[in-house]
Amino acid sequence: MTSEGWGTPPVEPISQHYIVCGGNALAHRLVLELVEHYEVPVVVLVADRTRDHAPRIEQLTGVAAVVEYASITDEALRAVSIGTARGLALVEGSDQENIHAALSAQNHNPDIRIVFRMFNQRLGENIERLLKNGAALSGSATAAPAFAAAALGRPNSVEIDGRYLHIAFDDAITADRVCVVADQIDRQDLSKIRLLPEQQGDSAEFVRLAAEFGDDGPVRPGGARREPEPTADPGAAAAREPAAAHEPGTEPASVGDPDSVGDPEPARDPEPAAETGGTAALQVLRIEPREPTGWRRRLRWRLLDTMRFFTSARMRLVLLTAFAAVLMSFGVLWYLNRNFGWTVYISLLDLAGAAQPDQLADIAAGTGTGGLWQRVAQVVITICGITFAPVATAIAVEVLASGRRGQPRTPGAGTRDHVIVVGLGNVGTRVATQLHDLGVPVVCMERDPQARGVAAVRALGIPVVMGDGPFEEQLRRARLKHSRALVAVSGDDATNLEAALEARHGNPEVRVVVRLFDDDFAGHFYRTLDNAASRSVSYLAAPAFAAALMGREVRGTLSVFRHALLIAELTVEDGSGLIGLNRHDLEDPGGVRVIAARFARTAQLQWNVPDRTRRLTPGDRIVVAATRSGLARLNTVAVDEG
C-alpha cells in the first residue's frame, strides 16, 4: 500500500508493453482482452490496489506488473516505463484528467499509441488532432445502442456506408443475409452458442443435392428413397444449416475459441436448427428503423404532459371546475338568446369583467337584456373569470421558479408505452438520448440530483423522477404500469437487479434490460426471467479499446446475448501483413468473416465479394465481422508481420 504521490515501479525493466490506467470494470475487461487475445505484456496503473477491480486485475495471468499511484503524474508515467511502451489506455477518470494524462504521455514518448476514454466525443475529436498517434473513444457511446435496442426488443445496428447491419434470429432471418454469425443457441445454456460457425460455400447446396439425388429420385444418406418434400427458400434453409461442408482453403470450426464456450464435439453431419438450437445471422437494413408513434397519440401525450407540467393537481381541479362552470353558463346564455355570436361576445366580456349589468331603471321599465337565468349565468362567468387571473399568475410564477431551481420535468399523466431508464450516469444518459432520438417516450430515474445526466435529459424535455426512496414508490411515479420496458444501467449490479425485479413485480409484462458485469450472474438472470436481456458495458466496449490500441477501427459492437460480435474496418497499408492475403487466408470459422471490401481502384463498397481468391493490395479496405480473438489475430497479422 503506497501513499499519495508514491508508487512501486515494475519488478524488472520492461519494454514494448502496453499500459492500462484504471481499476474499473472497463480496465479489467481491457486487460483481459490484451493478455488473452493479443498476448502482449501489460502494465496496469491503479489508484488503489484494494478497491474496485484492482485486486482481480492483479490476479490475472499475463499482467507484468500492477503499479499504484493516486494520480497519473509524470512520476507515475516514468514508473510504468512510458518511454519504452507501445501503447497507453486511459479508461478511468474525468475527461479533463484523461486529456492531461494523454498530453503528458506524448511528451515522454512521442511515438506511443494513446487511447483515452472521453464522454464528450466532440472534445475528444479535437484532442485527437493534438496527438500524433491518439484515439478518443467513449465506452458509453459504444455500449448504449445495445441497451436501447434490447429495450425495444430488437438487435442494435452498426452503420456501414449508409447501410445498417443488425443481427436477426431464427424466423426473422431472410435469404439476403450477409452471413450466419451464431448457431446452437440455447437460451437455457448460453455456453453452447458457436460464433461464426463454418459457413457453406457457394456450391455447397449443389453438392448436397448431387449426393442425395439418384437416377430415380432423392435418397436418404442411408439409402432409403423418399418422396420430394416442399422446401423453403434456399437462402433461409441455408441459414438454418450453418454447419456445412468445408470450403476449400478453410479449417474445421475451432471449438476452443474463447468466444464460443462449450464442450468439444466430434465432427458430424449438419443438423437442422430445430435439433441444434437457434440461429443468428447478420443482415442489412438500408434505413435505420424508427419506432412508429401515431400523431394522435403524440398530440394527446403533449397536451396532457403540458397541463401536468404547468399545473399541480389542486390547481388543475380548480381550473377544470371553473371551466365546466363557464361552459354550463355559456350553454344557458345560448339557450335563452339563440344567438351564438352574441353569446360568445357577452361571455368573453363577462370573463374579462367588462360586461355592463342591467340598470335598475331598465329593469323597472321592462327593457332589461335578460331574465334571471341570464343574470345568474353572467355572474358565474364573471366570477370564474376573476378566478382565472390569479391562477394564470400562479402558473407563471411556478414555471419561472422551477426554471430557476433547475428542477427536471416530472412524468405526465398521459405518459404511455414509454421506457424507464434507471441511472443517469454516462451510459444511462446515452441510452435515454438515443431512445428519445428514435421517437420513443422516455422517463428517467435518478437518486443523485448532481448526476451529470440530469441536466442533459432535462434539456431534451425528458421527465425525471428524483429521490432516494424505495424503488416501488419511484417506479410508481415513473408510471411503471403503463411502460413497455425498464433499462437499469447504474454502476452497481445489485441495484440494477433490484430495480428489474421490483419492476417485474409491479408490471409482469414489462421488458427488463439490466447492466451486469458478472457473467455467471447474467446466466442466472437469463434462466430466471422471461422477456429480459442483460448487457455488460465493459464487455461491449473493451474490444473496441483493445483494437484501437493496435491502430484498428471498430465501427461497432453487436450483441448475441452475452457474446460480442465486432464490426471492424481495416485499411491495407504499405508494409502491412495483410498485403497478398485473400478471403481464404483472412477468414476462419469461429473468428473472422469478410463481409465487404472497397478495393483501391473502386470507390463503392462491395458486399459479399464473390471472388475469394483476389489478393489485397495497398489502399484496399475490408469490413469484417469478427470475434474478439479473431480480430486480435487479424491485428497481429497487420501489425507484427508488417
The string of pLDDT tens digits covering residues 323-368 is: 888 888 888 888 877 778 777 877 777 777 666 655 444 444 444 5
Domain end among 363, 382, 405: 405
- Both 464 and 522 in one domain: the answer is yes
Position 6 scores a pLDDT of 47
Q: Do β-strands 532-535 and 511-515 pair in parallel, antiparallel, or remain unpaired?
A: parallel
DSSP classification of residue 35? I
> Lowest-confidence range among 105-114, 326-335, 427-436?
326-335
User: Which residues are bridge partners to 195 per DSSP?
Assistant: 182
Q: Which residue has the higher pLDDT, 369 or 621?
A: 621
pLDDT at 606 over 70: yes
- Both 400 and 431 in one domain: the answer is no
Per-residue pLDDT band for 200 (boundaries 50, 70, 90) equals low
Position 320 scores a pLDDT of 79
Position 335 scores a pLDDT of 81
> For residue 515, is it within any domain?
yes
Instruction: Look up the domain containing 444 and give its range.
Output: 419-535
Q: How many domains does the chain have?
A: 4
Find the mean pLDDT for residues 377-385. 78
Distant-in-sequence, close-in-space partners of 157: CB < 8 Å, separation ≥ 6: 145, 149, 164, 165, 166, 285, 288, 556, 558
Q: What is the dihedral of CA 431, 437, 440, 444, to 10 degrees?
A: 40
Task: Give the C-alpha distances (Å, rounded to integers) separating 397 from 71, 76, 406, 413, 466.
Answer: 47, 54, 14, 22, 22
Per-residue pLDDT band for 321 (boundaries 50, 70, 90) equals confident
pLDDT at 401 over 80: no
Distance between CA atoms of 28 and 26, rounded to whole angstroms? 5
Find the mean pLDDT for residues 43-70. 93
> For residue 301, is it within any domain?
no
- Both 435 and 528 in one domain: the answer is yes
Could you give the 3-state DSSP secondary structure of residue 318? helix
Convert the pLDDT of each residue in 272-313 to its tens digit. Answer: 333 346 888 888 876 555 555 555 655 665 566 556 655 566
Find the mean pLDDT for residues 459-488. 89
- Both 425 and 396 in one domain: the answer is no
> Lowest-confidence range among 359-373, 551-565, 573-587?
359-373
Position 251 scores a pLDDT of 34
Find the mean pLDDT for residues 409-413. 69
Q: Which residue has the higher pLDDT, 63 or 217?
A: 63
Q: Do β-strands 464-466 and 442-446 pair in parallel, antiparallel, or remain unpaired?
A: parallel
- Both 131 and 1 in one domain: the answer is yes
Position 504 scores a pLDDT of 92
Domain end among 405, 435, 462: 405
- Write out the three cell numbers for 58: 492483479
Position 303 scores a pLDDT of 63
Q: Which residue has the higher pLDDT, 204 or 622?
A: 622
Strand order in the sheet with 163-169: 157-160, 163-169, 278-285, 179-185, 194-195
pLDDT at 463 over 80: yes
Per-residue pLDDT band for 219 (boundaries 50, 70, 90) equals very low
> Lowest-confidence range among 318-332, 368-382, 503-517, 532-546?
368-382
Rounded to the nearest 10 degrees, the angle between the axes of helix 537-549 and helix 628-639 is 10
Domain end among 518, 535, 552: 535
User: Which residues are bridge partners to 421 per DSSP?
Assistant: 444, 487
Per-residue pLDDT band for 188 (boundaries 50, 70, 90) equals confident
pLDDT at 512 over 60: yes
Find the mean pLDDT for residues 123-138. 91
Q: What is the CATH number of the domain that holds 502?
A: 3.40.50.720
> For residue 96, is it within any domain?
yes
Position 25 scores a pLDDT of 92
- Both 167 and 260 in one domain: the answer is yes
Q: What is the DSSP annotation of 194-217?
A: EESPPPP-TTHHHHHHHHHEETTE
> For residue 550, is it within any domain?
no
